[in-house]
Amino acid sequence: MLPSRKSHCWSSCFPISPSTLVFILLIPLLLISLIASSLGSQKSLLLSFSWKNIEFFSSFPWSNSPHTEDYENGKDLKLRKEGQPKQQLLSSAESRGFISSGIHRRYTRAEKVEAVLAKARFFIREAAQTRSSVSSGIEQDPDYLPQGPIYRNANAFYRSYIEMEKVFKIYVYEEGETPIFHNGPCKDIYSTEGRFIDEMERGNHYRTKDPEEAHVYFMPFSVAVMVQYLYIPGATDMDPIGYTLADYIHTIAHKHPFWNRSLGADHFMLSCHDWGPQSSAYEPLLYKNSIRVLCNANTSEGFNPLKDASLPEINLKTGKITGLLGGPPPSERTILASFAGGLHGHIRHLLLDYWKEKDLDIQVFEKLPSNLSYESLFKNSKFCLCPSGYEVASPRVVEAIYAECVPVLISDSYVPPFSDVLNWKKFSIVVDMKDIPNIKRILMGISEAKYLKMQRRVKQVQRHFVVNGPPKRFDFFHMIVHSIWLRRLNLRLHS
């Protein structure tokens, strides 16, 4: 019997057996399958991203992050409005959102989301360059017209706020169970954390149930509650808190495509607990890329104002949100400056060492006398001293604003809340640590006319720090959302 021609041809062309060849060919397929499964059940196209500051909201000489690159890549479309002396530069990427190029194609939902943001950037930039104090149509607003020196650019702020109200959408992840998730403290020193989470859970403002149309994604965990339930007293680390946070992010990254798509850059967390920044470091992408809304807004500890936002620390001792505002007129305030509080942190040590119960004009107490209340001390003071404690934030800043007392900020590396919009120099005093012995001389050197202006501005800025239930336009809740909105405008996602 003649040998098989087919068999002879195979052995002469391939020196290995068919079964071995099949095995070799299957190995790459198995590896691809393994990698795909490790990326999670939801896959998405990875988008590159960069951070670019919106210049007219810049309050500090911030440098761009290492990932920042020129979004427009040097390709600009020059537009000149009639009667406008300066040229406006509109990037080609931005123009796609609202200028027809005559090219018709199907845009992805992610591209449409970016186009909406690009359109908002253009309108805000246009408003920022308006010379009149009131932009066209703004005077018709029934609630409030931002104006005056307390704002860095009132026109830009108002237009940004209106654009936010019109288009901004936040998706709240539903993963996680109470009390650690979807819950937070609504009274005490961490109340801003719980109040914001509670309002987002109600879903009456900005929330969308469709994650594909969202501009940002909220991870509704409470570090303050994690500390209450997970921290072991006496422990030298916060591993249970950090690992819980990291596990949560791994869960949403596995179940949804959005975290992996942007490496967390369009996601945000919110925490008023001192450990918020440290706990975020357990997930490197959260720490490095995501928007972190923090009371502990300390630039020396990794707070990046380009992508992170400062959260006001408000001590709602009983949870009550009414009857907190107001105080005597300036003419009836008999104390130049005051402070009452414990020895928390080196700045307070310096303050109390130099001023504790030594001067009738600068009234500084570690413990208040029995005949004097904390509230009456602030309400009878012209200036309220707000030194940092163990961390940079202090609830006294908002307490001073509530009492219509000019805040005196004494801190290192602190970014005050809403600094993108508010010009803190117009309604507060900043004192360096080295000038603590000179506080009286500094405050006495402020003329009566200047003090009265600052005090009126404190009353004007109150509305942005008031906690309302339900929220009202331009109040604490909406200003926090606006801070997040600005960070999202700073972020460019590229296909």
Cα–Cα dist 169/171, whole Å: 7
Q: Would you say residue 356 lies in a domain?
A: yes
Predicted local distance difference test score (pLDDT) of residue 494 = 79
Predicted local distance difference test score (pLDDT) of residue 242 = 97
Statement to judge: residues 337 and 301 lie in one domain: no
Predicted local distance difference test score (pLDDT) of residue 43 = 45
CA neighbours closer than 13 Å in the CB half-sphere of residue 233: 1
pTM comes to 0.83
Please identify, among 147, 166, 185, the residue that sits at the C-terminal boundary of a domain: 166
Predicted local distance difference test score (pLDDT) of residue 107 = 81
Predicted local distance difference test score (pLDDT) of residue 34 = 55
Digit-coded pLDDT (tens) for 134-177? 544 455 678 888 999 999 999 999 999 999 999 999 999 999 99
Let me know: does 218 contact 201? Beta carbons within 8 Å.
no
Question: Domain range holding 190?
Answer: 170-317+473-494
Q: Could you tell me the sign of the dihedral formed by the alpha carbons of 440, 446, 452, 458, in that order?
A: negative
Q: Could you tell me the sign of the dihedral formed by the alpha carbons of 206, 207, 213, 215, in that order?
A: positive
Higher pLDDT, 309 or 371: 309
Q: Write out the two tokens for 436.
A: 């603590």
Statement to judge: residues 235 and 119 lie in one domain: no
The full DSSP string for 195-237 is HHHHHHHHT-SSEES-GGG-SEEE--B-HHHHHHHH--TT-S-
pLDDT at residue 306 is higher than 90: yes
Q: Would you say residue 61 lies in a domain?
A: no
Q: Would you say residue 477 lies in a domain?
A: yes
Residue 88 pLDDT grade (very low, low, confident, very high; cuts 50, 70, 90) = very low
Statement to judge: residues 402 and 349 lie in one domain: yes
pLDDT at residue 314 is higher than 70: yes
The amino acid at residue 420 is D
Closest alpha carbon to 186 in 201, 208, 207, 169? 201
pLDDT at residue 305 is higher than 70: yes
- Mean pLDDT score, 7-13: 45
Predicted local distance difference test score (pLDDT) of residue 11 = 47
Predicted local distance difference test score (pLDDT) of residue 130 = 82
Higher pLDDT, 53 or 415: 415
Domain count, the chain: 3
The full DSSP string for 112-159 is HHHHHHHHHHHHHHHHHT--SSS-TTGGG-SS----STTBS-HHHHHH
Predicted local distance difference test score (pLDDT) of residue 54 = 59
Statement to judge: residues 160 and 202 lie in one domain: no
Predicted local distance difference test score (pLDDT) of residue 213 = 96
Residue 56 pLDDT grade (very low, low, confident, very high; cuts 50, 70, 90) = low
Q: What percentage of the chain carries pLDDT values higher than 90? A: 71
Q: Would you say residue 13 lies in a domain?
A: no
Q: Would you say residue 251 lies in a domain?
A: yes
Predicted local distance difference test score (pLDDT) of residue 77 = 28
Cα–Cα dist 102/93, whole Å: 15
Kind plus residue range of the DSSP H or E element containing 254: helix 239-255
Q: Would you say residue 98 lies in a domain?
A: yes
Predicted local distance difference test score (pLDDT) of residue 109 = 87
Q: Write out the two tokens for 134.
A: 């009131």
Statement to judge: residues 479 and 407 lie in one domain: no
Please identify, among 107, 137, 166, the residue that sits at the C-terminal boundary of a domain: 166
pLDDT at residue 12 is higher than 60: no
Let me know: does 213 contact 175? Beta carbons within 8 Å.
no
The amino acid at residue 82 is E
Q: Quote the DSSP letter at residue 168.
A: -
pLDDT at residue 68 is higher than 50: no
Cα–Cα dist 356/367, whole Å: 10
- Mean pLDDT score, 112-141: 80
Task: Tell me the pairing of strands 170-172 and 88-91.
Answer: unpaired
pLDDT at residue 35 is higher than 90: no
- Mean pLDDT score, 262-276: 97
Cα–Cα dist 466/461, whole Å: 9
Cα–Cα dist 125/96, whole Å: 16
pLDDT at residue 345 is higher than 70: yes
Q: Would you say residue 354 lies in a domain?
A: yes
CA neighbours closer than 13 Å in the CB half-sphere of residue 133: 6
Higher pLDDT, 83 or 23: 23
Closest alpha carbon to 339 in 355, 326, 353, 323? 355
Statement to judge: residues 245 and 339 lie in one domain: no
Statement to judge: residues 175 and 156 lie in one domain: no
- Mean pLDDT score, 345-372: 94
Q: Write out the two tokens for 149.
A: 């020196």
Q: Could you tell me the sign of the dihedral formed by the alpha carbons of 302, 304, 307, 312, in that order?
A: positive
Residue 397 pLDDT grade (very low, low, confident, very high; cuts 50, 70, 90) = very high
372: domain CATH number is 3.40.50.2000
Let me know: does 326 contact 289? Beta carbons within 8 Å.
no
Share the mean pLDDT of the chain. Answer: 85
